[in-house]
Amino acid sequence: MFRRKLRALDYHSSDAIDVSKSCDIKALVYWLENKKIRNYKIEDRAPLRNQSDEAWKTTFKKYLNSLECPFNCETELTSAVDWLVGVALRYEYADAAENNEELLRGLQEAKPLDKDIGTKPPLDLDPSDKLFASGVQALAKILLISSHPDVSVLLEACKIVIKEKLSKDALEKAAEKQKTTSKEDKQYNISPKDCGFELPDPCLGEAAKVLRLLHIQELRYLQTNINGLIVAVQNITANPKTDQSLGLVGR
């Protein structure tokens, strides 16, 4: 695992390093600080390599304390070096992520805007592709849209239905409408009602009840309109307007 981390960092001696040799550890620590971590200024990095073992341990301990290393380099040297490699990896991939974001941002800013994007299909796919066509057909079936031989036309229909029925505004309006209708609409049980005649088939009997109720509702609407018409005529005949200039007074 230690060598895999060094390979990920492109360390030149990742396969030949020996952590039991102080010269290998000094070279590795100096390389990590100089190439990846860069915690010290350039002129302050030399003591991490060009010192005797005892002086180097003091310098290395001070260096680890500046990085807030949780390991003691005197008793846990291997763990401390491995932790330092992990710090270098974090810095390495953080820099790579920032570079990728800058590259992506540059590509997005450099990409010209397409003025005719609104006239293109919603997806930049080949309509002749069988997998794409089957996907559009399946989507249209879910949305209860009639099939069409032209996949582009069918996809446009799916887009319109989704925009009008499944958009955020459409769903909010549908929810509001459902709240209002649920308070007004009530289920009506027609089972105990009698349609006025007997039918041998119970299904036909239920249908006859429905038709009879609908007919009664139409008659009620008709009667309401007739009553309104009678009231309107009564208002005219009960308050007649006369033209006195046409009347004769005396002989």
Residue 192 pLDDT: 59
Chain-centroid distance of CA 3 in Å reads 41
Among residues 151, 94, 149, 111, which one has the least CA distance to residue 128?
A: 151
What is the rounded (10 degree) CA torsion for 228, 232, 235, 236? -160
- CA atoms 9, 11, 14, 17: torsion sign: negative
pLDDT score, position 121: 46
Q: Which amino acid is at 1?
A: M
Q: What's the start-to-end Cα distance of the chain, in Å?
A: 132
- Give the pLDDT confidence score for residue 117 in this predicted structure: 41
As averages over each run of 10 residues, the pLDDT of the chain (251 residues) reads 79 82 85 86 82 81 87 83 87 68 55 45 62 82 79 84 80 75 56 65 77 84 87 73 57 49
The C-alpha R_g of the chain, in whole angstroms, comes to: 44
CB 14 within 8 A of CB 2: no
Q: What is the pLDDT of residue 111?
A: 47
Q: Is 107:94 a contact under the CB 8 Å cutoff?
A: no
Q: Are 82 and 70 in contact (CB under 8 A)?
A: no
| Strand, coil or helix: 201 | coil
Domain residues of the chain, as ranges?
2-110, 130-184, 189-236
What whole-number distance in Å separates Cα of residue 229 and Cα of residue 236?
11
Q: Tell me, what amino acid is at 79?
A: S
Which tokens go with 244? 């006195």
At 248, list the tokens: 């004769």
Asked whether the beta carbons of 48 and 63 are under 8 A apart, the reply is yes
Is the pTM for the entire model greater than 0.75?
A: no
